[in-house]
Amino acid sequence: MDLLPIKRAMLSVTDKTGLTELCTALVQNQTELVSTGGTMRHIQDAGLPVTAVSEVTGFPEILGGRVKTLHPLIHAGILADKDNQEHLETLRRMDILAFDLVCVNLYDFAQALNDQKQDRELVEEIDIGGPTLLRAGAKNFHSLTVLPTPESYAQFEAELEKNRGAVSLEFRRRMAARTFALTAGYDTMIARALGQTDL
């Protein structure tokens, strides 16, 4: 589809820059916000309505937060092709709601390296759920918008305003390309660090 209405968003960010303004624009657009941990608290502190991921999945965050968004009720909602009737029927049959936006930025592994974290402390700064959400959203750019950095928010908000609550395919494609470049760089940084560190 060319113009994608934004009615349901998944948000999980390390960098909270611009988050309040983005979420305010989404709520004004009547978009449901779904979020995790510190991101959810930030949204709540701004006085905005937000649904916990655990409320969607019926499963709590576990293993110290290592597992929270890795769930079929989240990823089916992100990966469903909205132009594929079989996908849409599966969502209806299994009572899964689709997402239209994934806004995620990653644990700051570069900062962990700068702080000279070592061994298991460094490993905890490797993001798993974030890259998974980003890559799933970027793969499905025909049916979803992905925002991988705060620098994308203003362009996204301009798209929403210009297209009356929807986002163009051209913008979604650009964000998908940016996302894959970002996750590739993130993995390369981790690979280099682990290759130089005795874990």
Contact in structure between 135 and 102 (CB atoms under 8 Å): no
Question: Rounded mean pLDDT of 144-170?
Answer: 95
Mean pLDDT over all residues of the chain?
Answer: 88
Tokens representing 126?
Answer: 């490797």
How far, in Å, CA of 167 to CA of 86, rounded? 24
Going by pLDDT thresholds of 50, 70 and 90, the confidence category of residue 179 is very high
Query: Which domain covers residue 23, as residue numbers?
Result: 4-195
Percentage above 90 pLDDT, the chain: 66
The CATH code of the domain that includes 107 is 3.40.50.1380
Closest CA to 108 of 155, 163, 57, 149: 149
pLDDT reported for residue 160: 94
pLDDT reported for residue 172: 97
How many domains does the structure of the chain reveal?
1
Convert the pLDDT of each residue in 14-71 to its tens digit. 899 999 999 999 999 999 999 988 899 999 999 999 999 989 988 777 777 677 777 8
